Amino acid sequence: MTESKQTISPLRQRLLDDMRLRKLGPRTQTAYIRAVKNFTRFFGQSPDAAEINKRVTLHGLRHAFATHLLEQREDIRVIQVLLGHQKLDNTARYTHVATKILHEVKGPLEYLDLKPTA
């Protein structure tokens, strides 16, 4: 009987590496993985319970979180760290949603109190 090799997603591998770095014991690691699985399962069922007709995913939740932070004028570098992005370009993708903020940005000359000369 051959043993099938279990594939591990990059996200799960990152979770395992993080737990090893924190030096969490095997029981704690197992409990944590179980909690993540339960959350994912619950999250998948919650749109039905809340009567949300739109497709809801964990990625969508992450995107909404980042967009909300941008709309609250949080620094994009802080959002980059919170999302775990290594490149700012990856975080900058979220700025296309927060267009209202871009229209409200003032240039340096707009802050000057210039009066026309007669």
Could you read off the pLDDT of 36-62 as tens digits, one per residue? 788 777 776 666 666 767 777 778 888
* Each residue's pLDDT tens digit, 59-97: 888 888 888 888 888 888 888 888 888 888 888 887 766
Q: Whole-structure pTM over 0.95, yes or no?
A: no
Could you give the count of Cα atoms lying within 13 Å of 26 in the half-sphere of its Cβ? 0
Q: Kindly state the DSSP code that residue 33 receives in the 8-state scheme.
A: H
pLDDT band at 1 (very low <50, low <70, confident <90, very high): very low
Cα diameter, the chain: 94
Q: Are 66 and 83 in contact (CB under 8 A)?
A: yes
More confident residue, 112 or 19: 19
- Whole-number CA gyration radius for the chain: 22
